[in-house]
Structure 1
């Protein structure tokens, strides 16, 4: 589109512009032009700022822009992760978790934590034996630890059908949501400069006064977002987004390129928050517990 149709409305969008290169001559003897592709981060005072995918920011006088147009965001290759690989990222959240393989299934155990994730079998993939045998092995494993057998399965899978047929009890359903950090940061407010940031290796706890806390865990270049809590009297004041902005700033500095989280399907407020920030649903999993403790 002609340059005069561009303007501040393209801020935050991925665009491509053609600009005049002052003082240079093109191959045909006329003016020289060059194309710039990236996200427009500013359009003010006669200057457009374009951030390339490399992170380089290019300032271009608007008077030198000949044409341009918005272009679709490039898919983040990390968002193509498989279901099993995605769920295995959870293990890093709980240091001290031990595991035992059963084919492609993984039986997790944590001596201290009583939460579901580190004390459930990840029953996704091929267990290497018949399903009934695999479920028997899960039951034996957890009963040997004096724990109620639990399993996490992909919704609609054959494993889920097998558990239901054996009377296992449905617990909660969670969505696995993910997003590219660069894109999400552009939708968030600035990080909180005076936030309390307590990092220990690849894990961090961030506190905003006594009202808000959030945790994050780095695994390779993935940032897990978890344990976001806002005190009841302070909710709906934007504190969650400020906490997320601060966490994603920390994650980006550590080299994270994508962020992910689990959110229960009954958590309407959480779903709305993450949907608005571009976290797309990748898949759903459901927890089941054995019929008897």
Structure 2
């Protein structure tokens, strides 16, 4: 065992160790060994304590460890969901979004948008298999949105096979719409937010949450145990006062009270200040997405 790989410095890390089983014989007639994977809780006084993913912590005499090394943490369950599965939570953000399926694709339409027409609620989520050749599927998308007076758009996972097919058929990327899908453990984000003497109150209406103050506002939508944040705005003259964090904290607390454990959001890739804020709170990139519009008819 290389001495630098294991020792007191691995306490708190996920490790794998191979240990000797005294008095037992292995399959080839030599000494018997077994591997143990888990988090190292302590290392000292001749004993390492390893906590496996299930079961009680195991005390391992350090003298019996013949090899071992730290291993990367296992990706969280939320991090292992597909881009499509993650994006399907978008439908819970606002009222009145109609959805129609096209194989794995989902056509989304907001008949009565409040304010501007937002792409995420008025585009086809083109992830997965539409059950048709790409050209035929995109023809259906074009017909669907044209009939509803909307610009035909698709949302694709960046650099996926669907994006290559869409681009090859003449669809053009929408400038300034590239976005990151960020997600995090709700509890982890809440722990990183400082205590607040005057936290605003979140209003809850079914699965829709909102916080509104004269200086800042934000909204969220519950879908199972996923809480999607959106519409976070702080008035320019009130920025850099911690108001964004206060709104986020209020939405997270209200979401947690209703069973949310995962927080997520979209942020455009050119919004560096917002990305820095969310990353400081523990959000990580799950995937990137882009929007494409249909080619103009001659």
Which bracket does the TM-score occupy, shorter chain normalised? 0.7 to 0.9
2:192 alignment partner, SS class: coil
SS at match of 1:237: coil
Kindly state the Cα deviation for residue 178 of structure 1 after the two structures are TM-superposed: 0.3
Task: Give SS of 2:210's match.
Answer: strand
* Structure 1 residue aligned with 2:250: 246
User: Unaligned stretches of 5+ in structure 2?
Assistant: 1-6, 12-38, 44-48, 52-70
Q: Distance in 2 between matches of 1:17 and 1:200?
A: 47
Other-structure match for 1:179 = 184
What TM-score results when the alignment is normalised by the length of structure 1? 0.73
Question: What are the equivalent positions in structure 2 for 1:151-162 lying under 5 Å apart?
Answer: 151-162=154-165
Contact 1:76/1:180 (<8 A) preserved = no
Distance of 1:274 and 1:195 partners within structure 2:
19
> Partner of 1:263 in structure 2?
267
- The two structures have a TM-score, normalised by structure 2, of 0.72
Q: 1:248 to 1:73 in 2, by over 3 A?
A: farther
The structure 1 residue matched to 2:143, chosen from 140, 143, 163, is 140
Cα contact 2:199–2:246 (8 A) shared by 1: no
Q: Per-residue deviation at 1:168?
A: 1.9
Alignment partner, residue 105 of structure 1:
105
2:292 alignment counterpart:
288
Counterpart position of 1:121: 124
Number of residue pairs matched?
234
CA distance in 2, matches of 1:191, 1:81: 33
Distance 2:241 2:198 in 1: 18
Aligned to 2:194: 189
CA distance in 1 between partners of 2:150 and 2:124 (Å): 12
1:191·1:243 contact (CA, 8 Å) conserved in 2? no
CA contact (8 A) 1:99 1:107 kept: yes
**Structure 1 residues not aligned, in runs of 5+:** 6-13, 19-34, 38-70
CA distance in 1 between counterparts of 2:199 and 2:271 reads 29
Shift of 1:265: 0.2
User: After alignment, is 94-103 or 281-290 more displaced?
Assistant: 94-103
SS in 2 for 1:186: helix
| CA distance in structure 1 between the partners assigned to 2:197 and 2:181 by the alignment | 27
Could you tell me how far apart the structure 2 residues matched to 1:192 and 1:291 are?
53
